[in-house]
Amino acid sequence: MAENGGRPKGRIIFHIDMNSFFASVEQAHDPSLKGKPVAIAGNPKERRGIVVTCSYEARAHGVYTTMPVWEARKKCPDLIVIPPDHNRYRDASNAMFGLLGTFTELVEPVSIDEGYLDVTETDWPGSAVSLAEEIQRRVLAELDLPCSIGIAPNKFLAKTASDMKKPMGITILRKRDVPSVLWPLPVIEMHGVGKSTEEKLNSIEIRTIGELAAAHDGLLKENLGKRGLYLKARANGIDGRPVDPESANERKSVGGSVTLPVDETDPDEMKKTLRMLAGKVALRLARRELAGDVVTLQIRDADWVNHSRSRTLTNPVFSEEAIFREAEALLDRHWEGQPVRLLGVTVGRVVDRSEATEQLSIFSYEKYAREEPVLKALGELEQKFGKGAVTRGIRGAGPDGK
């Protein structure tokens, strides 16, 4: 790729971020919805229904992700509320990533509506910006979907850049721009920092990204462990992760299983085995700095019949105790007393732990929020702390909050 008339010095990474993805897919499917306030909501007929995402027309009326449907209708009486169609969104996502694959083989999906491209060696005659414009144009022309693109020398900065201009933005963020663009911002604005981490950083007098970038390694490690050093590197614009097309397949789940010495019928003995398996899975997750929000229990009975039961969690887990607790609950709920030959525990839908820290799934928390004050508090969090305060850790194998 031509860049400033010569060969680029470093990598050229794009982050593609689809704008209001679910709502945009619905508008593409039904053009009569274009230009109208549209909201995608779970249980839209119930008072407790939650806005998963909404069109920019709806946002202009004050509607936002995580707002209760009743409140959204109050702010926007003409709001068109549509239940989510996951098959439709999955098809649109596959088409989007298929199109991106025509530009480079180095495409790494990170959720249903966003991904990275390494275009350093792409055979494109123009600049990185002109390539981004062509990608943006084709996604809109062929799929009728808008997107924003961040251009940077690494994944962290590309991700940060794509958030800066929406919808249909193209933003370049160079490492030399970090002091002026990122350092003045509060730490909560940094990708990978949630409310809990913000509070920990604030407690040690670190309130801006610049202060995090300059913090002493020992102080960070003492209060946040290795993750503190990871965040400091990001605050300085450092990120050596490659764009890996295989990572999505490699990182879907982490698990382990064991064949029992006898066909077991004692639940206490089985729970000892589950504790051991939870410890092994937690160790494997720790080595790769991953967490996941689906825990699966596998039971193979004495007749070699496999039984698999899963639970989707509100927050991603990675500790032995949390994994064991969920596996134990699945055993208590689903084991019917038959002799057990094999037990397995798996944590699925895994993501980088830094992206998963105490973040809430829009689809999951409806099951737990039973009172309007809880919903109101969640909405206030989103308004106060912005996008990402109450979203998925991988941003979405679930909903998009854009």
Tell me the binding residues for Mg(2+).
Answer: 17, 113
Measuring CA to CA, which residue among 229, 213, 209 is closest to residue 221?
229
E strands along 155-305, which residues?
170-172, 253-264, 290-301
Alpha helices in 30-80 (DSSP H): 56-59, 69-75
Q: Using the 8-state DSSP alphabet, how is residue 9 labeled?
A: S
CA distance 14 to 361: 26
- Side chain identity, residue 263: D
Length of the chain: 402
Residues 316 and 351: beta-carbon distance below 8 Å: yes
Q: Which two tokens stand for residue 113?
A: 């509506």
CA distance 21 to 7: 35
Alpha helices in 172-208 (DSSP H): 178-181, 195-203
CA distance 323 to 350: 13
Residues 42 and 66: beta-carbon distance below 8 Å: no
CA distance 15 to 236: 19
Q: Which two tokens stand for residue 292?
A: 């996941």
CA distance 1 to 88: 35
**What is the per-residue burial (b if ≥16 Cβ within 10 Å, else e) of 335-352?**
beeeebbbbbbbbbbbbb
For strand 170-172 and strand 147-152, is the pairing parallel, antiparallel, or unpaired? Answer: parallel
Q: Is 358 a catalytic residue?
A: no
Using alpha carbons only, what angle is made at residue 101 by residues 95 and 105, rounded to the nearest 5 degrees?
155
Cis? peptide before 186, omega within 30° of 0: no
CA distance 153 to 165: 18
Q: Which residues pair with 208 in a beta bridge?
A: 186
Q: Which residues are annotated as a binding site?
A: 17, 113
Q: Which two tokens stand for residue 91?
A: 């098809």
Catalytic, out of 26, 114, 198, 382: 114
Measuring CA to CA, which residue among 104, 185, 113 is closest to residue 148?
113
Catalytically active residues, by annotation = 114
